[in-house]
């Protein structure tokens, strides 16, 4: 079984949305027994909370139900997951700081490296923006998660 952890800052917008998108793709492909996903944040600002209400609203319009409860990244995550995928440079840098070893740091990847149709170097945090920011993030994550699933199928 391949285990993937999506990571953003507070685990209330980008990473739970990536988890939601990936869960749908996994279900549609019938790969629930082969791939497990979760999400976490590099900060515990919102620990135990549902994703941001705006993100849940935008997600719902596209048929995603985000029910994940925010949690911080732990040292165990570096041993439990095969891929740890950050949304932006700050997330990636923090993940490298948290990695308990060089071997575990090799599990860290950038979400946008899996994009197929969109070209950008990070998934922007929509928290302080408007509606279009949330929609753009979902577009990016749908593209990147599809690319991620394709890369996993090729392995």
Active-site residue numbers? 8, 14, 125
How many residues in total does the chain contain? 155
CA distance 35 to 150: 12
CA atoms within 13 A on the CB side of 114: 26
User: Cβ neighbours of residue 136 under 8 Å, at least 6 residues apart?
Assistant: 124, 126
């Amino acid at each position: 079984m391949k285990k993937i952890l999506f990571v953003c800052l507070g685990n209330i917008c980008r990473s739970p949305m990536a988890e939601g998108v990936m869960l749908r793709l996994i279900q549609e492909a019938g790969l629930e027994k082969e791939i497990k996903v979760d999400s976490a944040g590099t900060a515990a600002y919102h620990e135990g909370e549902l994703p941001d209400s705006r993100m849940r609203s935008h997600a719902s319009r596209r048929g995603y139900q985000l029910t994940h409860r925010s949690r911080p990244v732990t040292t165990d995550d570096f041993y439990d997951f095969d891929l740890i995928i950050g949304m932006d440079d700050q997330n990636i840098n923090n993940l490298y700081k948290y990695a308990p070893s060089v071997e575990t740091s090799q599990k860290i990847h950038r979400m946008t490296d899996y994009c197929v149709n969109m070209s950008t170097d990070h998934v922007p945090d929509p928290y302080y923006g408007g509606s279009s920011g949330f929609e753009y993030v979902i577009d990016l994550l749908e593209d990147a998660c599809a690319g991620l699933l394709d890369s996993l199928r090729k392995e």
